[in-house]
Amino acid sequence: MVMNLFQLIDAVSKNVNGTHTAYDDTKSFIVIPVPSKRFQSVLAQYIQKDNIRYIEISSKICDESQTPDKLFKIEKKLTFAKLAIKDGYLQVVCYLDENMATDLATLIITEVATFADEQELIITKEDIF
Entry pTM: 0.87
| pLDDT tens per residue across span 19-32 | 999 888 899 999 99
Domain total in the chain: 1
φ/ψ of residue 70, rounded to 5: -90, 0
pLDDT at 49: 85
**129 inside domain:** no
Confidence class for position 1, pLDDT limits 50, 70, 90 = very low
Which CATH number do you get for residue 35?
Answer: 3.30.1460.10
Q: Which domain holds residue 21?
A: 5-124
**18 inside domain:** yes
Contact 13, 30 (CB under 8 A): yes
The mean pLDDT of 46-75, rounded to a whole number, is 87
Dihedral sign, Cα of residue 85, residue 89, residue 90, residue 96: negative
Kindly give the pairing relationship between strand 52-63 and strand 89-96.
Answer: antiparallel
